[in-house]
Every structure is written in C-alpha cells, then in structure tokens.
A and B are shown apart, each in its own frame.
Chain A
Amino acid sequence: MRIEEIFRAEHGRILATLIRLVGGIDEAEEALQDAFATALEQWPTAGTPANPVAWLVSTGRHKAIDRLRRRALLVQKQDEIALHIEQSAAEDDVPVPEDRLRLIFTCCHPALTTEAQVALTLRTLGGLSTEEIARAFLVPAPTMAQRLVRAKAKIRTARIPYQVPLDDALTERLEAVMVVVYLVFNEGYAASFGARLVRHELCEQAIRLGRMLVELLPAHAEPQGLLALMLLHDSRRETRLDGSGDIVLLEDQDRARWDRAQIEEGAALVEAALRAGGRPPGPYALQAAIAAVHAQAPTAAATDWVQIAALYGVLARVHPSPVVELNRAVAVAMSGDIERGLAVVDEIDRQGEIVGYHLLPAARAELLRRLGRHVEAAESYRRALVLVGNEAERRHLEKRLREIVSLHNPQGES
C-alpha cells in the first residue's frame, strides 16, 4: 500500500492510539504528521515496514517525546510528561479497537455543537484535511479551521473525557454518534450542491465509520441498521441522477446498475439487526428494512408496498414524526389505495406541523395526479415549488407541472 493510502485508511486508528499515548488531540496530530513525514523520507529507500501502522504509532510517540523535550527547556512540567510517555511500555503502541471508539465518542460529545462534532470526526477519524471538510460543507477554510480549533480547545479546557461512556449512558451517547455519521452520509447523498466527487467521499467516509461502529460495538443492533441503511441507499448512487444532473425517480431508475454486492450486504445486516435488536426494532434498522424491500424488488411494479406501508407503520410508533407518516401515506397509496393515502396526507396537512416541507405538497400533487384530479394536482405542485430548495428537485417538479398543465389544457388555451 502506498503511504498516501495508508494515511487515508489508517489515519483514525493511528491518531486514536496516539491520543491515548500522548494525551491531547493537538499533540497527537502533530506526532502523526511527524511520523508520516518520516515515513515519506525513509520508506522509499529503506522499504515499507512489515507492520506500517505499528511503525507509524511508535515513530509518532517518539516524535511527541522529542517535541516535549524541546519545549521542556522552557517548561519543567513538559519534561515529566515526556518521561511518562517514554516509560509507557512499548506494547502500549499497539492500536487497540477501544482507541477509535474512545475517539469517536469524544468527537461526538453532546457538549460540542453538531457542526463541530461532524468536522472533528471527519478530521480525526476520517483523515480529511481542514480544506477538504470546508469544501464539502461549503464553508470558507478559515471558518472551518476556527471551528476545529475551538472544539479542540473546549475538549481540553472543559476536560471532555477521552473515554467510552459507561453502560447506562452508552445507548444515548451512541445515538448522538449515529446522528453524526448519518449526517455525514446525507450531506454526501443529498447532493444539493457541490461537486459529486467531493460528496461521494462523504458517503464513503460515513460508511467506513458505520463499519467501525458495527465492528467495535457488536452487542448493539442499531449500528448494523445504520450501516445497512447507508449501504442500501448508496447502492443506487449511480442511477439517482441522469446525465444532466436531473433526479431520476426510484421507479424510473435502471435497477441493473444498482450495486448488487452492496445490496446483499445491506440486506444481511438488516436481518441481523432485526433479529438481534429490541422489540420493536430501532429506527435505523426499520428504515434499512424499508430500503431493502425497495432494493430487492426486481422491478418498480413488483415492489411490495404492503410490506413497506406496514414497516412505516411500525416506524411511526417507534419514532413518531409527520415525515414518517407522510411516507406511510405514500406507501399506502402505492399499495393500491390512493384515496386512503391521500386522506392521510390531508390529515398531516391539517395538523400543520410540517407546513414548510416541500415534499408534503409534492406528495399530495403526485397522488392527485394519479387520481386524474389535475387542477388540484397543479395547485399542489405550485405550492411545492414555492418551498423547494434543491435545484434538481425543483426541475423535477416544474417538469411534472408542465406535463399536467398541458394534459389538462392540451391546446394551451388560457
């Protein structure tokens, strides 16, 4: 493996272990940079060591000691720390899985803002540069740098512990970690702006973090559900937009181009999560189960909408929200009962909890269109267009509106 590849793939593992060995995130980041710089100098001539990760960790530790020694000329206390690190046994250099877990729980600590949690996680565990994170979130690089500096200073000053939460707090804290991972994924997946390449890097990062959680927390079912959900969504990546960047609806996507291996892996994880999880299952496992039903249907027409509607029904009980209810309404309509689906949509509309959500009038418009109620459908499309933010979605709604207006008014008389 090339040094750059090792840097990207093993950044989190090496940094997490160095934080344990040298204490602070900043010190560990410096040590890691030093270790990689040394590798770039030495490996091309001396050859890649048998165990590059162990080599980088122990080189990093020695570099940290050197730095502290140099500073020790100024400050007495640094010398004691250097001695302490030096005396820690060499076997401590071996990365243990616990290291990365400690790091992600620290990065996703609820005392930090969500933006900071996301940035720190991508920086430390993902090995993304500050510039890359800034580009992915359309934030100026200095702003992102400031955000990272501030978050690290808070961890240090307020003493946010570098540890995996105890059992009674673990479930709640794990939820916060999963929110961050899924946020990273959606930022990449929603593709509302920015270059597709940068955005896909985010999806890959999120999937990698999801795999890490599954590997390190085998007793928990929800990370399996989360990983499954991301894999299943991501399996359709290539077919979601057409050549001009317009949205291709699920029913119109070329299923032959869906990533079969990823779908199989996702489906197996869903089953494992549903078997191992609580009763009822968690929200990620349920959403993944729904995505699996879609992914496994050979054609759009063969989709098992009855099962999807039932799964949304369970999800609505576990995780009540008008958005889930809206999805259930659509599934009910798609399973054949459009009138009943429309009634549910109208009920959500009456409750008025998600009045600003463009998909509510968009779904209503779609159902009305299928019922042949074109005038009302057009009105709902117009309402959706006022609210929509994503350009590709806007173009899709405009196209539908044009179609329906010309259908209703074929001669263009108005």
Chain B
Amino acid sequence: MRYMLMIYRDEKEWEGMSVQERGAVYQAAVDYCEALRPSGFYKGGDPLEPTRTATTVRMKGGKAVLTDGPFAETKEQLAGYTILEAKDLDEALAFVTRHPLVKAGFTIEVRPIREGPPK
C-alpha cells in the first residue's frame, strides 16, 4: 500500500536557520530515505521551494484564475513530500516517527494513496 507523507514546517522559522544547519537536516533526511530505496520501501520524494514561489489556480466565472501564493495561508506550510510503499500503517508510522525531519521540528501528515477512481 502506498502512503504519501506531507511534510510541514513554519517557513520563517526554517529560513531563520543558517545554511549549514539547514544543510545538515537535509542531508540527514536524504540519507535516511535513500537507505530504504533499494528495498522498494522509499519510492521517492522532494523538498519544495517556499510558498512565496507558489501559484494557485482556481475556476472563477468559467475562467481559470491565477493567484500568487499558496492554496491556504497557514502557520505551517507544505515543505516537501515523500512516497512510501509500506505493508500497513504501522510500518509507515515506524518510519515517520524515527524520521530526522520530525526530530528537527517538522510535522508530517501520513495519508494513504487511493488506487484508481473514487469509491
């Protein structure tokens, strides 16, 4: 079963850290995930550029309207994602609770990926 991890962080707080500090957190996360790529558990994932680079598209009056910025203004913003192939939720959660990003103050939401059309 595939799960998506949505990784959140207060951007201001994150950008307040030095490049060295952020680099060390990034490297720890990359090492943690890549170790599980060969077994097929870690399917992939990426960090995202800050929400100030986001563009949101909505339909308004039959027309696609663009807005500068993220879908929702929240205290914590989506900072990255990961796709896992896990046996069950416990296996996915065991990976997430030990994740270096959680230890570094990120919040991770775990969602099962739906296969195919809505049921």
Residue positions of A touching B, CB distance < 8 A: 109, 111, 157-161, 163, 165, 169
Q: Within residues 1 to 59 of chain B, which ones have a CB less than 8 A from any CB in chain A?
A: 1
The answer to the question of B89 belonging to the interface, with a C-beta cut-off of 8 Å to chain A, is yes
Q: Is the interface of B mostly helix, strand, loop or mixed?
A: mixed
Asked whether B112 lies within 8 Å of A165 as measured between CB atoms, the reply is: no
What residues on B are CB-neighbors of A159 within 8 Å? Answer: 1, 88-89, 112
What residues on A are CB-neighbors of B112 within 8 Å? Answer: 157-159
The answer to the question of B90 belonging to the interface, with a C-beta cut-off of 8 Å to chain A, is yes
8 cross-chain CB contacts under 8 A:
A109-B89, A111-B89, A111-B93, A158-B112, A159-B1, A159-B89, A161-B87, A165-B90
Distance in Å from the Cβ of A167 to the closest Cβ of chain B? 13
Residue positions of B touching A, CB distance < 8 A: 1, 87-90, 93-94, 110-112
What residues on B are CB-neighbors of A158 within 8 Å? Answer: 89, 110-112
Determine the distance from Cα of A103 to Cα of B16 in the docked complex, in whole angstroms: 46
Distance in Å from the Cβ of B117 to the closest Cβ of chain A? 15
What residues on B are CB-neighbors of A165 within 8 Å? Answer: 90
Q: Output the nearest chain B residue to A110 by Cβ-Cβ distance.
A: B93
12 extra A-B contacts, CB within 8 A, seeds A158-B112, A160-B90: A109-B89, A111-B89, A111-B93, A158-B110, A159-B1, A159-B88, A159-B89, A160-B89, A161-B88, A161-B90, A163-B90, A169-B90
Distance in Å from the Cβ of A160 to the closest Cβ of chain B? 5
4 closest A-B pairs by beta carbon, nearest first, are A161-B88, A159-B88, A158-B112, A160-B89
Determine the distance from Cα of A238 to Cα of B87 in the docked complex, in whole angstroms: 50
Determine the distance from Cα of A167 to Cα of B42 in the docked complex, in whole angstroms: 24
Distance in Å from the Cβ of B93 to the closest Cβ of chain A? 7
Distance in Å from the Cβ of B85 to the closest Cβ of chain A? 12
What residues on A are CB-neighbors of B89 within 8 Å? Answer: 109, 111, 158-161
Determine the distance from Cα of A111 to Cα of B111 in the docked complex, in whole angstroms: 11
What residues on A are CB-neighbors of B87 within 8 Å? Answer: 161
